[in-house]
Structure 1
Amino acid sequence: MADGKRRLAREDWVDAALAAIAEGGVAAVAVEPLAVRLGTTKGSFYWHFANRAALLDAALARWEERTTTAVVDEIVNATEEPADQLRTLIVRVIEAAERDRVGPALLAAVGQPVVASAIDRVTRARVGLIVTVFTRLGFPLAEARSRALLAYSAYLGHAQLAHSTDGVLPDTVGGRRAYLRDVIGVLTAGASDS
């Protein structure tokens, strides 16, 4: 382009918004600072989005797809035994919780209706997936729901610890394996298929 600014795709803005949320929370999603960050003009933003709210909606949808929808699809369609599905799910989400800085930032902004709506969808989908896995393990539905809530609460606590308190979670390969074994053991105690 003649002015030296590169033409950006919609996805570039969405990725920049997610990076801003991870670094500074939902309030950090502002058009002008994002344009500076991307080395472009606000005009590029308005080519792709009507306003900040539209960008925030797109960023939340991308986060939901990456962290929830794709995982749900993978686990629901897995051909593994239920106990292996649970292990795969736990390992995947624990590793993701340690990398995902957007989730904790969104939880801090749950008072905003658009964020609350996204968190509600994600939480319901995640808990629903865990219920499905526990019912596949042979637990009655009520117990599967109870264990799913326990598992999801443990996940949220793990994510909080991973982002707030260095050195609390195991950081060696052996320590992580023992930790994951303990988590799975607690969650599946009494399972007919574990």
Structure 2
Amino acid sequence: MRDQPDSSKRPARKRLTADDWADAALAALSEGGLGGVAVETLAARLGTTKGSFYWHFTNRDALVAAALARWEELSTERIIQAMEAAEPDPADRLRALLHGAIASATTDALEVRLLAAADHPDVTAALARVTERRVGYLAHLFELLGFPPPEARRRGLLAYTSYVGHAQLTQAVPGSVPADAGYLATVMTALLRR
């Protein structure tokens, strides 16, 4: 009779969570767009089976929705919370937000890929929510800096569209937008000018 392997000696496999799957979907989306989110490919990447996927999600659309919710949480809400907790000065908070956003735009194509997939209804809805939250937060910072609400909103929108344009150009034409501190200083000067 053949000896059976002792299962107690095998390392325990980490049980994957829905967030693990959502994070893997976001990575795939960043690399290959919405079409890159394929269950079998993600299962292989995560070292598991499709059964794990179906434990958490009913179908691919449910995974895409979870990934978009995860993106909203990580890329907007947690960043805003961290800024609120770490930086009391609204001008420094604005500068730190723009610096972080511009730095991430050069290395992460996720937001550009999401913009390219804006014809998907779930992506459209997520982009609308994130845009409103981000522009609203930026407008709030401009109000704290003394701008009246309508002007604060315009400046918040200008700051956000500057970031989106920067992200698009950085991904589409690498090297076309300066990556130095002088560029950010110029943007900040324009945004804060009365």
Paired AA for residue 64 in structure 2: L
**TM superposition score normalised by structure 2:** 0.87
Residue of structure 1 in register with 2:161 after alignment: 153
Alignment equivalent of 1:111, drawn from 101, 115, 119? 119
Q: 2:191 and 2:40 mapped to 1: Cα distance?
A: 47
Residue of structure 2 in register with 1:50 after alignment: 58
Paired AA for residue 86 in structure 1: L
Sequence identity (%): 50
Q: For 2:147, what is the secondary structure of its paired residue? A: coil
| Displacement after TM superposition at 1:42 (Å) | 1.0
Q: 2:145 and 2:40 mapped to 1: Cα distance?
A: 50
Paired AA for residue 54 in structure 2: Y
Tell me, yes or no, if the aligned pair for 1:7 and 1:44 is still in contact at 8 Å: no
| Displacement after TM superposition at 1:89 (Å) | 1.6
Q: 2:185 and 2:14 mapped to 1: Cα distance?
A: 48
Could you say what the CA RMSD is over the residues aligned between the two structures, in angstroms? 2.1
Superposed counterparts of 1:39-188, under 5 Å: 39-171=47-179, 176-188=180-192
| Displacement after TM superposition at 1:163 (Å) | 0.8
| Displacement after TM superposition at 1:100 (Å) | 2.7
Q: 1:26 and 1:92 mapped to 2: Cα distance?
A: 25
Deviations 1:107-161 (A, max 9, x none): 1111111111110110000000100000011001111111111111100011011
Gaps of 5+ in 1: none
Residue of structure 1 in register with 2:39 after alignment: 31
Q: 1:65 and 1:6 mapped to 2: Cα distance?
A: 27
| Displacement after TM superposition at 1:5 (Å) | 11
Please identify, of 120-129 and 64-73, the stretch whose mean Cα deviation from structure 2 is larger: 64-73
| Displacement after TM superposition at 1:31 (Å) | 1.2
| Displacement after TM superposition at 1:79 (Å) | 4.6
Tell me, yes or no, if the aligned pair for 1:16 and 1:34 is still in contact at 8 Å: yes
Does 2:193 correspond to 1:189? yes
Gaps of 5+ in 2: none
Q: For 2:118, what is the secondary structure of its paired residue? A: coil
| Displacement after TM superposition at 1:77 (Å) | 4.3
| Displacement after TM superposition at 1:80 (Å) | 2.2
**TM superposition score normalised by structure 1:** 0.87
Q: How many pairs align?
A: 185
Paired AA for residue 101 in structure 2: V
Please identify, of 88-97 and 18-27, the stretch whose mean Cα deviation from structure 2 is larger: 88-97
Q: For 2:134, what is the secondary structure of its paired residue? A: helix
